[in-house]
Structure 1
Amino acid sequence: MESLPCQGCKGLCCGPVPVTEKELSKLKKKIKSMPAKKRLELKNQQRYHGTCIFYDLTSDKCGVHSARPSVCRAFGYHKNLVCFRNPKAASEQSWQLSEEAAGILSVDFTWKNFG
């Protein structure tokens, strides 16, 4: 799989992020396991409107990468989730959630939902 040129994007393609109940559970565990200082730094960042609440603008990458939702794992590699900086990486297949979404990060679920 071809890698994506994410450095320098500042999370502009990171949203909206639909999440399932299972993904919410993984995210809550990830946030709870973070050192308090790191969690507060991530929580208190000012992001672009619509950018995922877990995008780390300071390090210019996902703040919960190991627990990121399936749409984030699929982004750039499917024709309905094309990376504008590397459209060639997308396959002809479209991506869809395997389960019903429980909601959208930054809209239905904000930092108040993650302790």
Structure 2
Amino acid sequence: MNKLRDRVAEAVQSRGYTDHKGSQYIDLPFPIPVSDHEYIRIKRERRVSIVADLEAAERITRARGYEIYRRAFPPVPTLDADELYVLLQEGELTEEDMDQIMVQKESFAFRGLTS
């Protein structure tokens, strides 16, 4: 199944088109009936999520002092992403800091589309 997915992904990337949100499409040469639907194109849907860059968060909060670092990194070394936003609201971190810490992660998913 992964081989099929990879071949379809390659076809969509090389011969398809991209919409304004970054999702990719390829029109099928003929409708493909599946159950009570006819699929006319395949969509490789772009999905983006925000993840924290732990190295950037540690570097930035350490530079702001021990108290700031300990709030973002409690003694059990896990990043408290919610606390980063509190620190931003309090002015302890800047938008530029947050842009370095909270980075986008992109993924794609296929969806069959009917007319």
Q: TM-score, normalised by structure 2?
A: 0.27
Q: Which structure dedicates a bigger proportion of its chain to helix? A: 2
**Relative contact order (C-alpha < 8 Å, sep 6+): which is higher?**
1
Q: Which structure dedicates a bigger proportion of its chain to strand? A: 2
